[in-house]
Amino acid sequence: MALSTARPRTAATGPPPTTRARGPRLALALIRTGPLLMLVAVVVTASALSPVFFTTRNLGNVLAQTAVIAILAMAQLLVIITRGIDLSVGSTVALAAVVGALTYEAVPSATLVVLAMLGTGLAVGTVNGVALVWGRLPHPFIVTLATLSVAHGLALWLAGGQPHRGMPDVVQLIGGTSIGWLPYSTLLVAALALLVLLLTTRLVWGRWIYAVGGNPDGARRAAIPVNGVLISVYVLSGLAAGIAAIITAGRLNAGSPTFGELAELDAIAAVVIGGASFLGGRGSVANALVGALMIGVIRNAMNLLNVDAFIQPIVIGVVILIAVELDVIRGALERRFQVMRAVAA
């Protein structure tokens, strides 16, 4: 057949593609590890500027302070991979913590308190997913903006605007204590990270979330249960908020309607710094964790260096811009790389 002679690389077209594309390939490899490189740079800088930064004690602090962002970021990642967004997680943390505290006041059972917090998260997540899919609401931004408001209001109303002190020992253990310098919450984050890694890379469900984010119509035509997949990511995001509530409430030995304020934005920022695409279909757990750590490290370093607290959000904002710009450059390089290969082939 005519094509069979045309397809293999014709000998006359010069060097094989690998030598020609080495420059961009190197740049690409470098940028692909971008978020991790940025994190290393930030850690090195922080260590150089502050003698306290790179001590086990302080690193334990950083990890403890990052646990909540990390958990919310991993869940937010799942949502963002499907082209969605979950703005309600911060308020859900507050609501779950308040419900937990009130439960503890009524019945001093650790199991019940933990279940109450997880259940509250699950409930909000389910409302988000179901309202989005079955209510056919136009965009998850709107659905979760509404539940953000509702959960926030509910938390204030239930708590009477006051923090409620007291949490069971188990909750305090998870949120507020360490083995040596290693916080329990970090172990929890690590375990959840492994779980999410398994979900996203090894299970059929993981394929589905990337497929739904990459091409929702195509996913429907491929008989992927798109609605179920969408509901599931919001349910998991709600559950993550419940877990984050346990850690926050445990650390502060209380449940307060002010918990988790703007935590949704931290989570989204972490995911974006980690190179996930808002257009859906791209992002990894490892990079989301790196993004969360980056935010934690920068905040911690600025505290150590006595940087004005008002400056901190400015720095985080600039970091987001740099990270996303790097990602834009990565995309452009990948396209150029592909064109070079096509030309060479």
Residues 225-264 that bind other proteins (CB under 8 A): 225, 228-229, 232
Q: Is residue 277 left, alpha or beta, with left meaning phi > 0 and alpha meaning psi from -120 to 50?
A: beta
338 belongs to the binding site for other proteins (CB under 8 A) = yes
CB of 7 to other proteins, least distance (A): 5
Q: Specify the stretch interacting with other proteins by CB under 8 A; choose among 189-197, 233-241, 309-317, 336-344.
A: 336-344
Question: From CA 322, how far away is CA 342, in angstroms rounded?
Answer: 30
Supply the DSSP string of 250-312, one letter for each residue. Answer: HHHTEE-TTTTTTHHHHHHHHHHHTT--TTSS---HHHHHHHHHHHHHHHHHHHHTT--TTTH
Q: Which is nearer to other proteins, 144 or 200 (by Cβ)?
A: 200
Q: Which of 40, 179, 203, 314 binds other proteins (CB under 8 A)?
A: 203
Q: Specify the stretch interacting with other proteins by CB under 8 A; choose among 113-121, 220-228, 233-241, 289-297.
A: 220-228
Q: Which of 37, 207, 261, 312 binds other proteins (CB under 8 A)?
A: 207
| Amino acid identity for residue 52 in this structure | V
32 belongs to the binding site for other proteins (CB under 8 A) = no
278 belongs to the binding site for other proteins (CB under 8 A) = no
CB of 31 to other proteins, least distance (A): 15
For residues 204-234, one letter each, b for 16 or more C-beta atoms within 10 angstroms of the residue's C-beta and e for the rest, the string is eebebbbbbbbebeebeeeebebeebbbbbb
328 belongs to the binding site for other proteins (CB under 8 A) = no
Q: Which of 184, 210, 234, 259 binds other proteins (CB under 8 A)?
A: 210
Q: 151-156 — which CB contacts under 8 Å span 24+ positions?
A: 151/88, 151/91, 151/92, 151/94, 151/95, 151/124, 152/91, 152/94, 152/95, 152/257, 154/95, 155/91, 155/94, 155/95, 155/97, 155/98, 155/257, 155/259, 156/257
208 belongs to the binding site for other proteins (CB under 8 A) = yes
Q: Specify the stretch interacting with other proteins by CB under 8 A; choose among 153-161, 177-185, 309-317, 332-340.
A: 332-340
Contact between residue 342 and residue 317 where contact means Cβ atoms under 8 Å apart: no
7 belongs to the binding site for other proteins (CB under 8 A) = yes
Q: Is 25 exposed, middle or buried (0-12, 13-18, 19+ CB in 10 A)?
A: middle
Q: Which is nearer to other proteins, 226 or 320 (by Cβ)?
A: 226
CB of 274 to other proteins, least distance (A): 16
How many residues touch other proteins under the rule CB under 8 A: the total is 39
25 belongs to the binding site for other proteins (CB under 8 A) = no
Interface residues toward other proteins, by CB under 8 A: 1-4, 7-8, 17, 202-208, 210-211, 213-215, 217-219, 221-225, 228-229, 232, 280-282, 334-335, 338, 341-342, 345
